């Protein structure tokens, strides 16, 4: 299970894009990760209590919810839920053991979202 490189990380907030531009980046990275057989994609979108960062987080998770309903992704875990006490996180460990070593595990970081393929 797992293996090196099974978690890909992408920072979509680096240059503070608009929410629309951020969703385009997420779409590109989801398609690319799926094509390459990536098991887990860690999206760094920022948490922003207001303004751009917050809007990106909200829109990113809404979009990921759509992708899950369409069956394009298996699941996603909001960073604040990414914990050994969370059932979805423990399920993700079964698919990708490398997640156990992620520095954001149990950090309740709502500036990230973990996508499971």
Position 2 in a domain: no
Tell me the CATH number at 15: 3.30.1370.110
pLDDT of residue 4: 42
Position 14 in a domain: yes
CA distances from 113 to 39, 55, 65, 83 (A): 14, 14, 12, 12
pLDDT of residue 94: 93
* pTM (2 d.p.): 0.90
For residue 38, the Cα-to-chain-centroid distance in whole angstroms is 12
- The secondary element (H helix, E strand) that includes residue 75 is strand 75-78
Position 1 in a domain: no
pLDDT of residue 52: 54
Q: Match 């993700």 to its residue by tokens.
A: 92
Residue 14 pLDDT level (bands cut at 50, 70, 90): confident
Average predicted confidence (pLDDT) for the chain? 90
What range defines the domain where residue 45 resides?
7-116
The domain tally of the chain equals 1
């Amino acid at each position: 299970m797992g293996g090196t490189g099974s978690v890909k990380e992408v920072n979509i907030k680096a240059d503070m894009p608009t929410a629309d531009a951020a969703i385009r980046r997420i779409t590109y990275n989801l398609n690319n990760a799926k094509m390459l057989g990536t098991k887990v994609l860690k999206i760094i979108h920022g948490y922003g209590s207001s303004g751009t960062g917050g809007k990106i987080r909200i829109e990113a998770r809404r979009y990921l919810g759509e992708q899950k309903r369409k069956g394009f992704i298996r699941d996603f875990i909001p960073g604040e839920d990414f914990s050994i006490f969370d059932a979805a996180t423990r399920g993700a460990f079964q698919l990708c053991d490398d997640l156990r070593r992620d520095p954001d595990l149990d950090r309740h970081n709502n500036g990230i979202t973990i996508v499971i393929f």
